[in-house]
Amino acid sequence: MNLKSIHSGARGLGWIALWALALLACNNNPYPATEGDEKVLYSSFREAPRSLDPAVAYDTGAHAITGSVYDTLLEYHYLKRPYELIPGLATNLPSQRPGDPGYTVYRFDLRPGMMYENDPAFALDEPGRTTREIVAADVAFELCRLADPAVNSPVVEPFSNIQGFQDFGQALTQRREDPAFADLPVQDQYASLGGISGVRSVGDHGLEVAVRSDYPQIQYWFAMPFTSPVPWEAVAFYDGQEGRPRFADHPVASGPYRLDQYDRQSRMVLEANPNWYGAMHPEWAAPGAVYPSEGAPGDLEAGLLAPEWVGQSLPFIDRVEFRREKESIPYFNKFLQGYYDAAGVIKESFDQVIDEGGLSEEMAEMGIRLEKGVEPTIFYIGFNLDDETVGRPGGGPARKLRQAMSLVVDSQEYTRIFTNGRGIPAQSPLPPGLFGYDDGYENPYRQVDLERARELMVEAGYPEGIDPATGKPLTLSFDTYDTSAQGMLQYRFFTDAWRQLGINVKVEATNYNQFQEKVRNGAYQIFMWGWVADYPDPENFLFLLWSDLARSKSGGPNTANFMDDRFDALYLSMKSRPNGPERQKEIREMRQILEVERPWIELFHREDYALFQGWLENVKPFGMSFPMTKYRDLDPAARASHREDWNQPVVWPIWVGLALVIVLIVPGVVTFMRERQ
């Protein structure tokens, strides 16, 4: 018996030793070892994009894919600031000529001989075919899709400036009441309506688009995936039937990368597209296919114009891996271990990473670089002005209520607690760096003043927050899509502030899609929202409050449903005016209206602190949500060696643990033997 028990003890130790060996053999590299020397960029995503349909995708997460997969007629210059458009799929920037009265015709010319990625969908038209040329009709087709109510594109509004755009959408809806028409494939439906009247393809490669003359901003939209050429075959083939994916999950690429793997739960992989015009025709040296030779001041010194890259054909990186990271801390820790190439600064690690506005010594030693800048963003709390209590139906008292609520929200404190002070307290919707931003402006309702707020509550008819109708504190709902415990703390910050006024604001949290759904249906009172500029023009912020774009009226992005005639008139006049004193004056007047009306409680303009590993090259932050992946380069050898340095497993705890086990077990066995004998 005794012998046996000793044996089993020895066997146990053997097991532990085996485990220890297994541990030593292991490492913490989350990628296969074979990937070490490939030019793979490692990135992450939190939630899979809801749709990769270029007509629908409109958030940063989706643009990370669609922006690389779908090429556009125009694009932004990678280095130049202020932002500058360059031709992409088009040979030149569009020429303009007057069209029908009030309209300007933009003429684009596509490069001949560009092909789509290989895809079985192309066999629909001609059996056995796997790709075809990109033609102007594909862009026209995509514009039709934007107008198609069934596609439900979020950007119908700006495109309504195209001649005949809205009529086309209405005609579609009408004709679809006839089932025979509704059963036709969409491309035939569009064709039988003759397409959008203001959009005309000239031959295979020419495209003419008639746009209202007071909307010169349309050109910016031709640099976004919404206007990418889309082959009708892909839309027809990928219909979600018989095991085929939906088009929203299966892009057909015209851009520098193609979607190689798409697993919504865990992984998305982009791979260089061999059919991209830059790869097939390097001899063209097209502006969108080679690294730029000139940039903004300072770029040369920053090494962004090194001869190594200038004039070289793109893309440099062969593959982009997106791994799902639901939690920010594991993600950031993996960045610190060298397993992600770029990261934002998470709030938990702020003090470790940032020291007096710059990189901490520890990070600098690791070769990590910090790029920061105020983004063209605004974060705000909005009121649904259609609501009876807080909105327009409530009249003057409701305005006073909004003013009072605005007076107790402390942006400075908010950014200090929740974003480590990364952000500039906002006084108006316009962020710094944009025309119309006024550094000296102080919004009287955005300074904290509890006394004044309490007075306003009395004037609004809620003395001490008591709703005379119920005799209890006024109860409002704050709708949000953030259900996390950390998120709740944020809302607690606001609700605590409002409780000072005696208002009981309840937080109703749902997920992102449902929140959007709620907003779409007008079922909300107070919400928190952010806006990142599509293009660098004050119009792109002030349009968020234009009445034509009210959520309840047209499903537009004016989520506050702010409708003010004076504001609208100023907006329309300001929109088509060139930057200058007139425009400045109008913007100032609009600001005045917002100041009093308080559709928003402006919180802050985000300041971006982006971290990049030393081996990631050619990094210039862009500000807007365009993945500039094709310009980036990286040094896999440097990455591999750093990873090895940073991730030496610490093994001594294993030996300590083993020793501890022995120390505990041996005397036990000894005592036991003694007792038994």
Among 500, 573, 579, 641, binds another protein (CB under 8 A): 500
Kindly tell me which of 59 and 167 has the beta carbon lying closer to another protein.
59
Q: Which residue has the tokens 């690294």?
A: 291
Pick 80 or 319: Cβ nearer another protein:
319
Contacting another protein within 560-579 (CB under 8 A)? none
Other CB atoms within a 10 A radius of the CB of residue 559 amount to 27
Q: Binding to another protein by residue 192, rule CB under 8 A?
A: no
**Both structure tokens of 141:** 């087709």
Residues in contact with another protein, shown as a per-residue x/- string from 302 to 331 under the rule CB under 8 A:
---------------------xxxxxxxx-
Residues 123-152 that bind another protein (CB under 8 A): none
Taking CB atoms within 8 Å and a gap of at least 24, the contacts of 59-67 are: 59/625, 60/532, 60/625, 63/225, 63/625, 63/626, 63/627, 64/322, 64/625, 64/627, 65/251, 65/259, 65/268, 65/270, 65/322, 66/225, 66/228, 66/251, 67/225, 67/255, 67/625, 67/626, 67/627
Picking from 526, 588, 596, 509, the residue whose alpha carbon sits closest to that of residue 561 is: 526
> How many beta carbons lie within 10 A of that of residue 433, not counting itself?
16
Q: Is 484 in the site for another protein (CB under 8 A)?
A: yes
Which residues 245-284 are close enough to bind another protein by CB under 8 A? 263-266
Stretch (H or E) spanning 267: strand 267-272
In the complex with another protein, which residue's Cβ is closer, 233 or 479? 479
Smallest separation, CB 352 to another protein (Å): 4
CB of residue 326 to another protein, shortest distance in Å: 7
Answer for which of 14, 27, 125, 573 binds another protein (CB under 8 A) is: 27
Q: Please tell me whether residue 472 binds another protein under the rule CB under 8 A.
A: yes
Q: Given the rule CB under 8 A, which of 80-88, 123-131, 229-237, 472-480 is the region that contacts another protein?
A: 472-480
**Minimum distance from CB of 339 to another protein (Å)?**
8
Name the minimum Å distance from CB 618 to another protein: 27
- DSSP for 622-640 reads -SSS---GGG-EE-HHHHH
Rounded distance, CA 630 to CA 554, Å? 37
CB of 463 to another protein, least distance (A): 10
- List the one residue from 60, 313, 333, 547 that touches another protein (CB under 8 A): 333
Shortest separation between residue 34's beta carbon and another protein, angstroms: 9
Question: Residues 7 to 26: which contact another protein by CB under 8 A?
Answer: 8, 12, 23, 26
User: Which residue from 277, 207, 234 is spatially nearest to 125, judged by alpha carbons?
Assistant: 234
Give how far Cα 248 sits from Cα of 50, 52, 57, 70, Å.
8, 5, 9, 13
With CA atoms as reference, report the closest residue to 45 among 58, 25, 64, 27: 64
In the complex, minimum distance from the CB of residue 490 to another protein, in angstroms, rounded to a whole number? 8
97 near another protein, rule: CB under 8 A:
no
256: CB partners within 8 A, 6+ apart: 68, 71, 272, 273, 276, 278, 279, 314, 315, 629, 630
Q: How far is the CB of 368 from another protein (least distance, A)?
A: 15
The residue among 418 and 622 lying less far from another protein, judged by its C-beta, is 418
Angle between helices 411-418 and 485-499 (to 10 degrees): 160
**Size of the chain in residues:** 677
- Between 442 and 675, whose beta carbon lies closer to another protein? 675
Distance between CA atoms of residues 80 and 299, nearest Å: 9
Among 111, 258, 334, 422, binds another protein (CB under 8 A): 334
- Considering only 84-92, 171-179, 221-229, 668-676, which stretch makes contact with another protein by CB under 8 A? 668-676
* 194-233 binders of another protein (CB under 8 A): none
- 503 sits near another protein (criterion: CB under 8 A): yes
The yes or no reply on residue 32 touching another protein (CB under 8 A) is yes
Instruction: Tell me the two tokens of residue 253.
Output: 């690429």
CB of 67 to another protein, least distance (A): 21
Subset of residues 433 to 462 that bind another protein, contact rule: CB under 8 A: 450
Among 30, 98, 112, 274, binds another protein (CB under 8 A): 30
* Contact pattern from residue 348 through residue 387 relative to another protein, giving x for each residue in contact according to CB under 8 A and a dash for the rest: xx-xx-----------------------------------
C-alpha separations of 244 from 11, 184, 363 in Å = 54, 19, 47
Three-state DSSP class for residue 307: coil
Query: Which residues partner with 40 through β-bridges?
Result: 319
Among residues 180 and 485, whose Cβ is nearest to another protein? Answer: 485
Bridge partner residues of 324 (DSSP) = 45
Minimum CB separation of residue 57 from another protein in Å reads 14
Of the candidates 640, 620, 638, 639, which has an alpha carbon nearest to the alpha carbon of residue 630?
A: 620
| Shortest spacing between CB 416 and another protein, in angstroms | 7
Minimum separation from the CB atom of position 351 to another protein (A):
5
Min separation Cβ 650 and another protein, Å: 4
Count of other CB atoms within 10 angstroms of residue 647: 13
How many whole angstroms from its chain centre is CA 86?
22
Our finding on whether 488 is near another protein (CB under 8 A) is yes
488 vs 492: CA distance, rounded Å: 6
Name residues contacting another protein, limited to 631-660 (CB under 8 A): 647-650, 653
Q: Are the C-beta atoms of residues 340 and 44 closer than 8 Å to each other? A: yes
| 521 near another protein, judged by CB under 8 A | yes
Contact flag: residue 509 with another protein (CB under 8 A): yes
The nearest distance, CB 521 to another protein, in angstroms, is: 4
Residue 29 makes contact with another protein by CB under 8 A: yes
- Shortest CB 260 distance to another protein, Å: 14
Q: What's the token pair of residue 671?
A: 């005592």
Distance CA 588, CA 604 (A): 19
Least distance to another protein from the beta carbon of 649, Å? Answer: 5
Size of the site for another protein (CB under 8 A): 82
Chain positions 402 to 431 lying near another protein, rule: CB under 8 A, are: 413, 416-417
List the interface residues with another protein, window 523-542 (CB under 8 A). Answer: 523-524
Binding-site member from 39, 212, 319, 499 for another protein (CB under 8 A): 499
The token pair that represents 462 in the structure block:
């809620």
Query: For another protein, which residue of 118, 197, 504, 592 counts as binding (CB under 8 A)?
Result: 504
Question: Which of 4, 297, 442, 578: binder of another protein (CB under 8 A)?
Answer: 4
Helix (H) or strand (E) holding 377: strand 377-383
Residue 46 interacts with another protein (CB under 8 A)? no
**With contact defined as beta carbons under 8 Å apart, do 435 and 619 qualify?**
no
Distances (CA, A) of 643 to 37, 337, 371, 523, 621: 12, 6, 22, 50, 24
Which of 442, 485, 578, 580 forms a contact with another protein (CB under 8 A)? 485
| Nearer CB in complex with another protein: 31/622 | 31
For another protein, the binding residue among 5, 152, 170, 579 (CB under 8 A) is 5
